[in-house]
Amino acid sequence: MAKRDFYEVLGVSRDVDEATLKSAYRKLALQLHPDRNPGDAEAEEKFKEASEAYAVLSDLEKRRAYDRFGFDAVGMGGGQGGFQDFGNFGDIFGDLFGDIFGGRQGQGGRSRGRGQRGADLRYNLDISLSDVLNGTEAHIEIPKTRPCEPCNSTGARPGTQPEICPQCRGAGQVIMQQGFFRISRPCDACGGAGEIVRERCSTCRGSGRTEGMHSISVKVPPGVDDGTRLRVSGEGEAGIAGGGPGDLYVVISVEPYELFEREGQDIHCGVPIAFATAALGGTIEVPTLDGKVDLRIPEGTQSGKVMRMRGKGLPSLRSKTRGDQHVHIFVEVPTKLTKKQREVLEQFAEETGSEVSPVTRGFIDKLRDLFD
């Protein structure tokens, strides 16, 4: 049977890029793989044909030779068959056929056992607005696993060592025949570790790890916000039997502050002032994150006016420049008046007109325009 053009087999154009070529082959391989089509000779032949095509086209030198001289240039001029080179499939087998041949494998085919990385941990840390302003160093305690010291994280009883697995001879993998080619999978006898522990450590019971509380200092930089995640490398769970540790992620939560509300780098604060101060003007004390400061109130300040204090907000993680503080003014109306105060206010009301109440005058003018 005449061989088909490799580009035609994979359903791609002759100028196909590497990523598209790989995607096309993976799609065909998943569809035609013998384990998904048991007893289907036609599917197996098509799978073999697609594998031949990908083996050539994924190799730059072979592809160039094939483009110029055809099948003869890559040693396939005598018809179908003779495909032996599986060197280009290492990056595909792991993620394409992992579910078929016993699960995804990590580096070296060891999906579990020796060298497995420890799990990441999360710690929720509450801080104040003052900590956001200045940064802080928090001392926290976390429950975590550590490498077992008595057995040096091998999992074997002190004085003994794990033995090389007799089934895989320390490789951690065994070869399996799947259709017309061979692939490897983690060894069942040692779980992919390449070693077997005959006598377990009594401290860690063979896991190579022990549990306990761990103290750590975490530096919180100025400008963090709610939900900021700080990664502390290597402070997660210990790896299994000598594997690398995971990481610790400290998630920041900024506690509510009684006087301030945060909006990014800016903060907002509501400040009451007396009626007389609003009318006559004056100076009031305003709380800030740096302490109390004086703020001048202009004559005739209305309730609801917002005054900005530059540079009194919070820094950002990317810049030392601080945001602003927005002071929301509200005029406080007295609820209890003495007889003399009432008389003074009544006299004031008789003597004032719309000329001293611009907001009221403007409102009345709008009502007149609406209904007249």
Residue 70 has what pLDDT? Answer: 79
Residues 42 and 15 in one domain: yes
Dist. CA 74–CA 62, nearest whole Å: 6
Q: Which band of pLDDT confidence, cut at 50, 70 and 90, is reported for residue 125?
A: very high
Residue 132 within a domain: yes
This prediction has a pTM of: 0.55
Higher pLDDT, 145 or 124: 124
- For residues 240 and 193, the answer to whether their CB atoms sit within 8 Å is no
Which of 4, 13, 48, 14 lies closest to 28 in space, CA to CA? 48
d(C-alpha 326, C-alpha 310), whole Å: 9
Give one word for 280, left, alpha or beta, with left for phi > 0 and alpha for psi -120 to 50: alpha
- First-to-last C-alpha distance (Å) of the chain: 97
Domain boundary among 81, 97, 113: 97
Which residue has better confidence, 320 or 1? 320
Q: Are 125 and 247 members of one domain?
A: yes
| Same-domain pairing of 131 and 239 | yes
User: Is 70 exceeded by the pLDDT of residue 50?
Assistant: yes
Higher pLDDT among residues 84 and 182, named by residue = 182
Answer whether 242's CB lies under 8 Å from 114's CB.
yes
Quote the strand ranges of the chain, DSSP E.
121-127, 136-147, 163-164, 173-178, 181-186, 195-196, 209-220, 229-232, 248-254, 261-263, 266-274, 282-288, 291-297, 306-309, 325-332
Share of the chain above pLDDT 90, in %: 32
Give me the residue label for tokens 């502050």: 257
Lowest mean pLDDT among 151-165, 178-192, 209-223: 178-192
Whole-number Å distance between alpha carbons of 42 and 54: 18
pLDDT on residue 135? 92
Task: Show the beta-strand stretches assigned E in 59-179.
Answer: 121-127, 136-147, 163-164, 173-178
Provide the domain limits for residue 20. Answer: 6-97
Query: CB–CB of 132/255 below 8 Å?
Result: no
Residue 355: pLDDT band with limits 50, 70, 90:
low
Backbone Cα Rg of the chain: 38
Res 76: pLDDT: 58
Which of 22-26, 76-80, 97-101, 351-355 ranks highest by mean pLDDT? 22-26
Residue 292 confidence (pLDDT) above 90: yes
pLDDT of 74 = 64
Number of domain units in the chain: 4
Q: Is residue 58 domain-shared with residue 139, that is, in the same domain? A: no
Same domain, 247 and 133: yes
Residue 97 has pLDDT above 60, yes or no: no
pLDDT, position 80: 40
Residue 154 lies in a domain: yes
- Residue 103 located in a structural domain: no
Residue pLDDT, tens place only, 103-121: 434 333 333 345 678 889 9
Beta bridge partners of 178: 181
Same domain, 31 and 46: yes
Amino acid at 57: L
Query: Is 113 inside a domain boundary?
Result: no
Query: β-strands 291-297, 282-288: how paired?
Result: antiparallel
| Contact call for residues 241 and 113 (beta carbons, < 8 A) | yes
Last residue of a domain, one of 97, 132, 156: 97
| Model confidence pLDDT, tens digit, residues 169-211 | 777 788 766 555 667 778 888 877 788 888 889 888 887 888 8
Check pLDDT > 90 for residue 137. yes
Q: Residue 96 pLDDT > 70, yes or no?
A: no
pLDDT of residue 79: 42
